[in-house]
Structure 1
Amino acid sequence: MTGAPDGGQPDARLAPFDALPAGAGRSATLAALGKALAGPDAGEGPRMARILFAGVLGLDLVQIIARPEAPLSGDERALLRAAAERCLAGEPPGRVLGRRAFWGMEFRLGPDTLEPRPDTETLVETALARLDLQKAGNPLQILDLGTGTGCILIALLSELPGAFGVGVDLAPGAAAIARDNALANGVGERSGFMAGDWTEAIATGLFDLVVSNPPYIESHALAGLDAGVRLHDPVLALDGGPDGLAPYRLLAPQAMRLLRPGGVAAFEVGAGQAADVAALMRVAGFAATQVAADLAGVMRVVSGVRP
């Protein structure tokens, strides 16, 4: 295969892949695809190639190593090439595949959802750590505001088999995808999803845990985001207002209103926002506020307890 699938000019960056002979094996094809996708980070090309092999062909590294010489069909080569072209055009692998892994599970994406990212697992870890362990076996009630793919709520429900959760998102499309993801990951019967505004969707409630990964990018900074985010993630899920803190000014009092005494609120925050969000939570009445760092050392999650 030496030309672009649409008959246009082939992308020169795909030359290592296009140069493969017909019937090339899995291992050789993976290596060539890694070279084609290589960027400034030497490890990025091989990583993306493995993601595409797994997502497009259903072949993980173990299967490739077990049968390195097994040839790929022409159709498989064409599918890989088409996916690689989209990645080289700046589309993140998760968007190309339409799904992304999080907390050991797989989540379908849509135009109204963010891609789940490893940083957000810190929010799940913090929420679990701060819950009253004596209540962990009871039927806890969880609320996820701005649920997106539902990944946070679904991850929590997977760890708390006695819990029930509600996810709210302003975008109906996101709420529908979250519902599908809950069913696919085995927690559909213990969750419900709705489209609506944070301040109106849930009129009353007594939740044990309120979590959120809200928009927190400053409006003026959106234009400078990486193209993979700027062009493919929904602006509604990114824009946090002029200072990035507008959602937290709503979230803190809403969480206080909806939590039962002793309940926990945990919010993901952007770099440099933790102190300001902790202050907003204290003003709203939260006690025992804490900040947790992600694996990169960024203060990523702020949590507090309703007295």
Structure 2
Amino acid sequence: MTLREWLAQAEAQLSAGPHQDLAKRDAETLLLHVIGKNKAWLMAHAEDDFAGCSAIRYAGLIERRRKGEPIQYITGECEFYGLTFRVTSDVLIPRPETEHLVEKIIELATPGAINLEEMLEGPQNPGAPSFRRSLPEGWESTNPTPPIRILDVGTGSGAIAIALAIKLPNAILTAIDVSQSALAIARGNATRNNLAEQIRFLHGDLLAPVAGEQFDIIVSNPPYVPEPDRDSLSIEVRDHEPALALFAGIDGLEIYHRLIPAAFTALAPGGSIALEIGYGQQPAIHSLHTEAKFSGIQFTPDLQGIPRVAVARRLQI
């Protein structure tokens, strides 16, 4: 059989699966993945014979996709914020809407958005860890403005932390996850992007690994899907993505109840928290921030107009 014939056969098989509208695209994507070529090469060699181990492998990948496995897990890669990440079923697949969260952090970290000098140890923040105590030797001579300390809680594949490390090269980044398997993926992605030395990866539940430390920005895309919604999810999500990173109790707010007050304590005065939230959760998230004494609570919608990112600030008191 030729490459063209294999493509047609694969498309027909995928048309009987859960994503009929993506059958042609997925058949082509998986073929290009197997042969290691681009679309232009495929168009020029569509009549070439395709057989042997590569054809057998392709047939196996098509069957996995027909059963609903995410194509990102099949290829082992996912695009996020212009970068390529390795992903497995140990981590959530980074979503395009999470890029809004990255953009918000970059905005918060822009000079002027945070008064860095007021976050240093002083009368308003007695006893807090100072920026300058944790700076590399010689930093102040070349960087008069202290770096911003950013904490990524529940880092998963490391996509958020790595995107921020690239966009904010002077930031000091820490990434935490409760899953050792996820941390292994995140560390690998940091190495892949030459950032292994720029991000501190820690294992533990929420902020436990950084007890006693303070940060200027805390960011998280935590589990927020209500358990009762499990059956309404697509087969890709429900049957293949890690439940630990998806579900958060009856109302999807379980993690926020713990994370938001803990973040207030871990933020330096004037620091900010930025969270991705689920559909319909805006009122509850607003209340949780208010109860934790956060101020300036704002919500940013995604491209569908759904409030997707919640940002709040700890006042400088």
TM-score, structure 2 length as denominator? 0.81
Q: CA deviation at 1:181?
A: 1.0
For the Cα contact (< 8 Å) 2:149–2:216, is it kept in 1?
Answer: yes
Q: Out of 13, 30, 36, which is 1:52 matched to?
A: 30
Report the AA paired with residue 34 of structure 1.
E
Q: Out of 89, 99, 117, which is 1:121 matched to?
A: 99
SS of 1:231's equivalent in the other structure is helix
Q: Out of 148, 151, 155, which is 2:163 matched to?
A: 155
Q: CA deviation at 1:162?
A: 1.2
Write the distance in 2 (CA, Å) between the matches of 1:173 and 1:117.
20
Report the AA paired with residue 155 of structure 1.
A
Report the AA paired with residue 146 of structure 1.
G
> Cα RMSD between the aligned structures?
2.3
Residue aligning to 2:217: 209
Report the AA paired with residue 58 of structure 2.
L
Residue aligning to 1:183: 191
Q: CA deviation at 1:205?
A: 2.1
Could you list the per-position Cα deviations for residues 41-71 of structure 1 after superposition, in whole angstroms to 9, with x for gaps in the alignment? Answer: 6641122223313433333334334554454
**Unpaired segments ≥5 residues, structure 2:** 115-144
Would you say 1:268 and 2:276 are equivalent positions? yes
For the Cα contact (< 8 Å) 2:109–2:148, is it kept in 1?
Answer: no
SS of 2:217's equivalent in the other structure is strand
Once the two structures are superposed, the pairs formed by residues 13-162 of structure 1 within 5 Å of their partners are: 21=1, 24-25=2-3, 29-38=6-15, 43-65=21-43, 67-134=45-112, 139-162=147-170
Q: CA deviation at 1:220?
A: 2.1
Residue aligning to 1:283: 291
Q: CA deviation at 1:103?
A: 1.4
Distance 1:235 1:56, change over 3 A: same
Residue aligning to 1:7: none
SS of 1:189's equivalent in the other structure is coil
SS of 1:216's equivalent in the other structure is coil
Distance 1:218 1:53, change over 3 A: same
Could you list the per-position Cα deviations for residues 213-253 of structure 1 after superposition, in whole angstroms to 9, with x for gaps in the alignment? Answer: 11111122223322211211122111211111111111111
For the Cα contact (< 8 Å) 1:274–1:301, is it kept in 2?
Answer: no
Report the AA paired with residue 46 of structure 1.
K
SS of 1:270's equivalent in the other structure is coil
Distance 1:256 1:56, change over 3 A: farther
Could you list the per-position Cα deviations for residues 6-62 of structure 1 after superposition, in whole angstroms to 9, with x for gaps in the alignment? Answer: xxxxxxxxxxxxxxx2xx14x554454334323576641122223313433333334
For the Cα contact (< 8 Å) 1:179–1:192, is it kept in 2?
Answer: no
Bigger relative contact order, structure 1 or 2 (CA pairs below 8 A, ≥6 apart): 2
**Unpaired segments ≥5 residues, structure 1:** 1-20
Write the distance in 2 (CA, Å) between the matches of 1:139 and 1:234.
34
Distance 1:53 1:158, change over 3 A: farther
Aligned length: 284
Write the distance in 1 (CA, Å) between the matches of 2:20 and 2:243.
30
Q: CA deviation at 1:113?
A: 1.4
Q: Out of 224, 227, 240, which is 1:232 matched to?
A: 240
Would you say 1:248 and 2:243 are equivalent positions? no
For the Cα contact (< 8 Å) 2:175–2:200, is it kept in 1?
Answer: yes
Write the distance in 1 (CA, Å) between the matches of 2:285 and 2:153.
16
Report the AA paired with residue 160 of structure 1.
L
Write the distance in 2 (CA, Å) between the matches of 1:161 and 1:175.
21
Residue aligning to 1:298: 306
- Give the stretch that moved more between structures: 66-75 or 116-125: 66-75
What percent identity do the matched residue pairs reach?
37
Report the AA paired with residue 186 of structure 1.
N
Report the AA paired with residue 63 of structure 1.
W
Q: Out of 220, 223, 227, which is 1:219 matched to?
A: 227
Q: Out of 243, 263, 267, which is 1:259 matched to?
A: 267
SS of 1:193's equivalent in the other structure is strand
Could you list the per-position Cα deviations for residues 82-131 of structure 1 after superposition, in whole angstroms to 9, with x for gaps in the alignment? Answer: 10000111211112223322112222223431121222112112222233
